[in-house]
Amino acid sequence: MSSKVPAPGRERADFIREIIAEDLRSGRHKTVVTRFPPEPNGYLHIGHAKSICLNFGVAREFGGRCHLRFDDTNPTKEEQEYIDAIKADVHWLGFDWGEHLYHASDYFERLYEWAIHLIKAGKAYVDDLSADEIREHRGTLTEPGKESPWRLRSIEENLDLFQRMRRGEFPDGARVLRAKIDMTSGNINLRDPVLYRILHASHPRTGNAWCVYPTYDFAHGQSDAIEGITHSICTLEFEDHRPLYDWFIENLPVPSRPRQYEFARLNLSYTVLSKRFLLRLVSEGRVRGWDDPRMPTISGIRRRGYPAEAIRDFAAMIGVGKRDGVVDVAMLEHRVRDVLNRKARRGFAVLRPLKVVIENYPEGRAEELDAVNNPEDPTAGTRKVRFTRELYIEREDFMEDPPKRFYRLAPGREVRLRYAYLVTCREAVKDAAGEVVELRCSYDPATRGGDAPDGRRPKATLHWISAAYTVPAEVRLYEHLFTRPDPGAEGDLLADLNPQSEEVIGGGLIEPGLASVPMGETVQFERLGYFCPDPDSKPGRPVFNRTLTLKDTWVRLQARGRHDE
Ligand code: ATP
Ligand code: MG
Dihedral sign, Cα of residue 382, residue 387, residue 392, residue 394: positive
Over range 354-362, report the average pLDDT. Answer: 98
Ligand at shortest distance from the CA of 48: 1
* Catalytic site residue from 110, 138, 205, 265: 265
- Amino acid at position 332, single letter: L
Over range 348-372, report the average pLDDT. Answer: 97
Query: Which atom of ligand 1 lies closest to the CA of 52?
Result: 16
The closest alpha carbon to 115, from 169, 178, 204, belongs to: 178
Residue scoring higher pLDDT (11 or 153): 153
CA of 49 from ligand 1 middle (Å) equals 9
Inter-residue contact 114 to 222 (CB < 8 Å): yes
Q: What does the pLDDT read at residue 560?
A: 76
Q: How far is residue 411's CA from residue 428's CA, in Å, rounded to a whole number?
A: 7
Cβ–Cβ contacts within 10 Å for residue 31, how many?
12
Quick check: is 180 catalytic? Answer: no
Is the confidence at residue 88, as pLDDT, over 80?
yes
CA of 38 from ligand 2 middle (Å) equals 7
Quick check: is 394 catalytic? Answer: no
Contacts of 369-374 with C-beta under 8 Å, sequence gap 24+, read 369/419, 369/420, 369/448, 369/449, 370/419, 370/449, 371/346, 371/418, 371/419, 372/346, 372/419, 373/345, 373/346, 374/343, 374/344, 374/345, 374/346
Please indicate whether residue 38, judged by its CB atom, sits closer than 6 Å to ligand 1: yes
pLDDT in tens, 378-415: 999 999 999 999 999 999 999 999 999 999 999 999 99
Residue 433 has φ and ψ, to the nearest 5°, of -80, 0
* Catalytic site residue from 39, 133, 309, 367: 39
Over range 178-186, report the average pLDDT. Answer: 98
CA of 383 from ligand 2 middle (Å) equals 50
Please indicate whether residue 274, judged by its CB atom, sits closer than 6 Å to ligand 1: yes
pLDDT in tens, 514-525: 999 999 999 999
CA of 47 from ligand 1 middle (Å) equals 7
Is the confidence at residue 230, as pLDDT, over 50?
yes
Is the confidence at residue 94, as pLDDT, over 70?
yes
Shortest-distance Cα residue to atom 26 of ligand 1: 47
Ligand at shortest distance from the CA of 54: 1
Please indicate whether residue 47, judged by its CB atom, sits closer than 6 Å to ligand 1: yes
Please indicate whether residue 260, judged by its CB atom, sits closer than 6 Å to ligand 1: no
CA of 426 from ligand 1 middle (Å) equals 61
SS3 assignment, position 430: strand
Please indicate whether residue 37, judged by its CB atom, sits closer than 6 Å to ligand 1: yes
The confidence band for 557, taking pLDDT boundaries of 50, 70 and 90, is confident
Q: How far is residue 469's CA from residue 367's CA, in Å, rounded to a whole number?
A: 11
Shortest-distance Cα residue to atom 21 of ligand 1: 48
Please indicate whether residue 50, judged by its CB atom, sits closer than 6 Å to ligand 1: yes
Sequence-distant (≥ 6) Cβ neighbours of residue 147 within 8 angstroms: 137, 183, 192
DSSP conformational letter for 362: P
CA of 50 from ligand 1 middle (Å) equals 9
Over range 489-499, report the average pLDDT. Answer: 95
Cβ–Cβ contacts within 10 Å for residue 456, how many?
11
Q: Tally DSSP H helices, then E strands, for the chain.
A: 13, 25
pLDDT in tens, 439-479: 999 999 999 999 999 999 999 999 999 999 999 999 999 99
The closest alpha carbon to 51, from 263, 254, 213, 358, belongs to: 263
CA of 61 from ligand 1 middle (Å) equals 22
- Which of 16, 35, 48, 103 has most ligand 1 atoms within 8 Å of its beta carbon, as the pocket-test mutant? 48
CA of 268 from ligand 2 middle (Å) equals 18
Please indicate whether residue 346, judged by its CB atom, sits closer than 6 Å to ligand 1: no
Q: What does the pLDDT read at residue 10?
A: 54
Shortest-distance Cα residue to atom 25 of ligand 1: 47
Please indicate whether residue 241, judged by its CB atom, sits closer than 6 Å to ligand 1: no
Please indicate whether residue 40, judged by its CB atom, sits closer than 6 Å to ligand 1: no
Quick check: is 275 catalytic? Answer: yes
- Amino acid at position 319, single letter: G
The confidence band for 24, taking pLDDT boundaries of 50, 70 and 90, is very high
Q: What does the pLDDT read at residue 11?
A: 62
Q: How far is residue 138's CA from residue 140's CA, in Å, rounded to a whole number?
A: 7
Whole-number percent of the chain with pLDDT over 70: 97
Is the confidence at residue 317, as pLDDT, over 80?
yes
Please indicate whether residue 279, judged by its CB atom, sits closer than 6 Å to ligand 1: no
Whole-number percent of the chain with pLDDT over 90: 95
| Least trusted range by pLDDT, from 127-136, 161-170, 534-543, 547-556 | 547-556
CA of 377 from ligand 2 middle (Å) equals 43
Please indicate whether residue 296, judged by its CB atom, sits closer than 6 Å to ligand 1: no
- Which of 234, 235, 240, 260 has most ligand 1 atoms within 8 Å of its beta carbon, as the pocket-test mutant? 235
Q: What does the pLDDT read at residue 513?
A: 96
Please indicate whether residue 266, judged by its CB atom, sits closer than 6 Å to ligand 1: yes
Q: What is the dihedral of CA 513, 517, 523, 529, to 10 degrees?
A: 80
Mean pLDDT of the chain: 95
Inter-residue contact 177 to 162 (CB < 8 Å): yes
Over range 104-126, report the average pLDDT. Answer: 98
The closest alpha carbon to 115, from 242, 251, 220, belongs to: 251
Please indicate whether residue 553, judged by its CB atom, sits closer than 6 Å to ligand 1: no
DSSP conformational letter for 314: H
Please indicate whether residue 280, judged by its CB atom, sits closer than 6 Å to ligand 1: no
Inter-residue contact 339 to 307 (CB < 8 Å): yes
CA of 265 from ligand 1 middle (Å) equals 8
Over range 329-343, report the average pLDDT. Answer: 97
Shortest-distance Cα residue to atom 18 of ligand 1: 234
Is the confidence at residue 132, as pLDDT, over 70?
yes
pLDDT in tens, 250-287: 999 999 999 999 999 999 999 999 999 999 999 999 99
* Catalytic site residue from 60, 275, 335, 346: 275
